[in-house]
Amino acid sequence: MNLYFDIDGTLITRNGLPAPHLKEFLERATARHDCFWLTTHCRGGENRAEEYLRRILPEEYWQYLQYFMPTDWNALKTEAIDFTKDFRWFDDYIFEAEKEVLKKHWCASKFVQIDLVNHPSQLQDLMKLLP
């Protein structure tokens, strides 16, 4: 399964810290799935995601970053999703236009909204979604 990840507000808290249970979540995700950055840090074909995260995450997390592939999108993040494969998209917020694209492809349920403010341990709970 393809997994698409936003960074800010999804893997990194609003305070600029790693989300609780992030290391275990990344370990499970990268061991079993194809992982992609779907973040403004990759917008327009530039891959700044790993560089950005290396400034925030302790070195023990870096081993997982090598398994992430960048995406290329311009207006909507859905431009980068491969709808021919099963996927999950982890993000704290998506635009209405992106929701409409997901609905058009009959896959709105594949978007997983992350809310680290109200559910700080959400990544631990989501590991169950990663067979």
> Which tens digits make up the pLDDT trace of 19-43?
999 999 999 999 999 999 999 999 8
Is residue 111 helix, strand or coil? strand
With beta carbons less than 8 A apart as the criterion, state whether 76 and 96 touch.
no
Task: For residues 91 and 33, give the distance between their C-alpha atoms in angstroms, rounded to a whole number.
Answer: 17
Q: In which residue ranges of the chain is pLDDT below 70?
A: none
With beta carbons less than 8 A apart as the criterion, state whether 10 and 92 touch.
yes
Short-list 30, 104, 99, CA closest to 5 = 30
The predicted structure's pLDDT at residue 4: 97
The predicted structure's pLDDT at residue 74: 93
